[in-house]
Amino acid sequence: MSEILKIFKNSGWMMSSQVFTAICGFVWTIIIARYLGASNLGILSFAISLSIVFGMFMDFGISQLLIRDVSREHDLLPDLLNNAIPLKTISSIIVILFIGLILYLKGDTKIVITVCLLIGIENLFINMTLILNSVFQAYEKMSYTAKSTLLNSFLLLSLVIICAYFDLGLIGVTLSYLIAYFTSYLYLRIQVSRKIYRPKLKFNFKYWKILIKRSIPFGLMNLFNSIYFNIDMTMLGFMTTAYSTGIYNASYKIITILTTLYTVYTAVIFPVMSKLYKNSDDLLKLSYEKSIKYLLLISIPISIGVVIYAKSLIVLIYGNAYISSSIIIQFLIFTIPFLFINGSGGLLLNSSHKEVTNTKIYGTAVLVNVILNLILISQFKELGAAIATLLSEIYIFIIMFIIIFKTKYHPSIKTLFDVIKIIISSVIMGLVLYYTGVNLWIGIILGIIIYFICLILLRGFDENDKSIIRSVIHRK
Q: What is d(CA 290, CA 464) in angstroms, rounded to the nearest whole number?
A: 9
Residue from 147, 146, 150, 145 nearest 132 by CA:
145
Q: What is d(CA 301, CA 303) in angstroms, rounded to the nearest whole number?
A: 5
Q: What is d(CA 222, CA 224) in angstroms, rounded to the nearest whole number?
A: 5
pTM score: 0.69
Dihedral over Cα of 117, 118, 121, 126: its sign: negative
Write the burial class of residue 408 (CB in 10 Å: 0-12 exposed, 13-18 middle, 19+ buried).
Answer: exposed
Domain edges within the chain: 2-411
CA atoms lying within 13 Å on the CB side of residue 165: 7
Q: What is d(CA 172, CA 322) in angstroms, rounded to the nearest whole number?
A: 23
Q: What is d(CA 194, CA 273) in angstroms, rounded to the nearest whole number?
A: 27
Q: How many CB atoms lie within 10 A of CB 108?
A: 17
Tens-binned pLDDT, residue by residue, of the chain (476 aa): 455 555 555 555 566 676 787 788 878 888 998 899 888 988 998 898 888 778 777 777 788 788 878 877 888 888 888 998 999 899 999 999 999 999 988 888 899 999 999 999 999 999 899 889 888 888 877 778 888 988 999 999 999 999 999 999 999 999 999 999 999 999 999 999 998 999 888 889 898 898 888 888 777 777 777 777 778 888 887 888 888 888 898 888 888 877 766 666 665 554 555 555 555 667 777 777 888 888 899 899 999 999 999 999 999 888 888 899 999 999 999 999 998 888 888 878 877 777 778 878 888 988 999 999 999 998 898 999 999 999 999 999 999 989 988 888 788 888 899 999 999 999 999 999 999 999 999 999 999 999 999 999 998 887 777 766 665 555 44
Quickly count helices (H) and strands (E) in the chain.
19, 0
Output the CA–CA distances (angstroms, integers) from residue 43 to 97, 100, 102, 171, 475, in the order listed. Answer: 19, 15, 16, 11, 47
107: left (phi over 0), alpha (psi -120 to 50) or beta: left
Q: What is d(CA 357, CA 346) in angstroms, rounded to the nearest whole number?
A: 9
What is the pLDDT at residue 348? Answer: 81
Q: How many CB atoms lie within 10 A of CB 155?
A: 18
Taking a C-beta distance cutoff of 8 angstroms, is the pair 88, 132 a contact? Answer: no
Taking a C-beta distance cutoff of 8 angstroms, is the pair 263, 18 a contact? Answer: yes
Q: What is d(CA 83, CA 205) in angstroms, rounded to the nearest whole number?
A: 9
Q: What is d(CA 450, CA 455) in angstroms, rounded to the nearest whole number?
A: 9
Q: How many CB atoms lie within 10 A of CB 402?
A: 9
Residue 14 neighbours by CB under 8 Å, 6+ apart: 142, 145, 146, 149, 264, 267, 268
Residue from 394, 393, 372 nearest 383 by CA:
372
Q: What is d(CA 76, CA 62) in angstroms, rounded to the nearest whole number?
A: 13
412: left (phi over 0), alpha (psi -120 to 50) or beta: beta
Residue from 463, 50, 449 nearest 235 by CA:
50
What is the pLDDT at residue 155? Answer: 95
CA atoms lying within 13 Å on the CB side of residue 260: 22
Q: What is d(CA 81, CA 128) in angstroms, rounded to the nearest whole number?
A: 11
What is the pLDDT at residue 476? Answer: 46
Residue 157 neighbours by CB under 8 Å, 6+ apart: 24, 27, 28
